[in-house]
Amino acid sequence: MVVPLFCQMEIVDSAICDAFVCSCINSLPITFWEITQHLVHYTKPYLQKHVIRILWMVPIYALDAWLGLIAPNFSIYMNSMRECYEAYVIYNFMKFLLNYLNAEMDLEANLELKQQVHHIVPLCCMRDWEMGREFVHKCKHGILQYTVFRPATTFIAFVCHFSGVYGEGEFRADAAFPYIIAVNNLSQFVAMYCLVLFYKANKDELAPMKPIGKFLCIKAVVFFSFFQGVAITILINAGLLTNIFGTTEQPDVKDISSSLQNFLICIEMFLAAIAHHYAFSYKAYVDLAAEQPNCCQSFCQMWDVSDVKDDVLEHYGVITTQARNLLPSKVYKHPGGLREERAHLLSTSDGADYSGDSGVSTSTLPRPIQAARSASLQ
């Protein structure tokens, strides 16, 4: 049996290694059982598609961390896959919340009737977002930007790694690592802030689906694991952990940092699998009176990522439109005199793109809800 490098260190007892193996292996059956039950009771595709994608996070994280322990030299490739899936999970959680709310009500109209939700610390000095379409738009794209930034910074990290300027785990001015960490940190903060603000505005409407546990699961796995990795890197570079492991050599220090992070993730994924089992349970979707879908068709629908493509293109359109709006207007002559011209990629009544639907495609909702949504938009 191949013994992980981290487990070869004398300070780590064999019992801890056994616990690590058990935790990594035990997390997979729990998650696969939950995913299978969602596919069997696939009664609300517009919600469960996103739930299943979120549940896949645990096995992907666990296997990624395990492989990173066995082959630490290839950890950058496996960590990159994990980082991209982090962004995918945040996107699906956002879509899950939007689809749930839009299936129950006209989200934008409902928000317009509510009291103004103010920004919270540390952005309490910002202008409040108008309740309704603007609020949904800002929250949605504040979360969606992480889905775009995370894969982009991962790709940049790849390029820097092969160029020899990445400097993983090194906080040097001539290394790309600290700058990429700073960008990812800022992007994560914006996404988490928008999630909290969105929940604050829709707390009562989200109460029936018990959102607190779901929020904590997402934040704990995605955001906590990121900051945990940063904290370990800082402690290693400060020399607070290197003495414990009896080494000060730079290659060994880097290996300790990645191995310790992977070891902790393996342990944490067992706890995450249990938490997801209760937070994203299939039992809420069991309806024996409803027509039971074909599991193979449900499985194929899970891999349909056309919604991701549409939302990313929409986000790109919004950013491009806002960038064009910052440019000075063109003034040209025509027979009636001077006229200002400003190009808009997406035309709306208020000059911003709100997709006309709060971020959920009506084609994914039940037919009665589709009809009601279509009537409200006409």
pLDDT (tens digit per residue) in 49-95: 999 999 999 988 888 888 877 777 777 777 788 888 888 898 899 99
Q: Are residues 200 and 243 in the same domain?
A: yes
Other CB atoms within 10 A of residue 250 CB: 11
Residue 5: pLDDT band (50, 70, 90) is very low
Cα distance from N-terminal residue to C-terminal residue, the chain: 65
What would the two tokens of residue 264 be? 């902790």
Residue 342: pLDDT band (50, 70, 90) is very low
Decide: residue 227, CB within 10 A, 0-12 exposed, 13-18 middle, 19+ buried: exposed
What are the residues whose beta carbons fall under 8 Å from the beta carbon of 323, sequence distance 6 or more?
none
Q: Are residues 118 and 250 in the same domain?
A: yes
Angstrom distance (rounded) from CA 249 to CA 236: 11
- The fraction of the chain above a pLDDT of 90, given in percent, is 24
Cβ atoms 25, 58 nearer than 8 A: no
Question: Per DSSP, what are the bridge partners of residue 337?
Answer: 334
Decide: residue 378, CB within 10 A, 0-12 exposed, 13-18 middle, 19+ buried: exposed
Tell me: pLDDT of 228 over 70.
yes
The distance of Cα 91 from the centroid of its chain, to the nearest Å, equals 5
Decide: residue 115, CB within 10 A, 0-12 exposed, 13-18 middle, 19+ buried: exposed
* Cis previous bond, 251, omega within 30: no
Q: Are residues 249 and 348 in the same domain?
A: no
Q: Are residues 72 and 147 in the same domain?
A: yes
Q: Are residues 186 and 318 in the same domain?
A: no
Cβ atoms 100, 359 nearer than 8 A: no
Domain end, chosen from 281, 301, 321, is at: 301
Domain end, chosen from 280, 301, 322, is at: 301
Q: Are residues 77 and 209 in the same domain?
A: yes
CATH number of the domain within which 168 lies: 1.20.1070
Question: Per DSSP, what are the bridge partners of residue 334?
Answer: 337
Q: Are residues 234 and 327 in the same domain?
A: no
Angstrom distance (rounded) from CA 262 to CA 38: 29
- Predicted local confidence at residue 353, as pLDDT: 44
| Domain total in the chain | 2
Task: Give the pTM.
Answer: 0.76
Q: Are residues 324 and 292 in the same domain?
A: no
What are the residues whose beta carbons fall under 8 Å from the beta carbon of 49, sequence distance 6 or more?
301, 302, 304, 364
Q: Are residues 297 and 368 in the same domain?
A: no
Q: Are residues 225 and 283 in the same domain?
A: yes
> Which residue range is the domain that position 142 belongs to?
5-301
Q: Are residues 343 and 275 in the same domain?
A: no
Q: Which residue has the higher pLDDT, 245 or 236?
A: 236
Among the listed ranges 10-24, 85-99, 110-124, 173-187, which one has the minimum average pLDDT value?
10-24
Domain end, chosen from 247, 282, 301, is at: 301
Q: Are residues 196 and 313 in the same domain?
A: no
- Predicted local confidence at residue 367, as pLDDT: 46
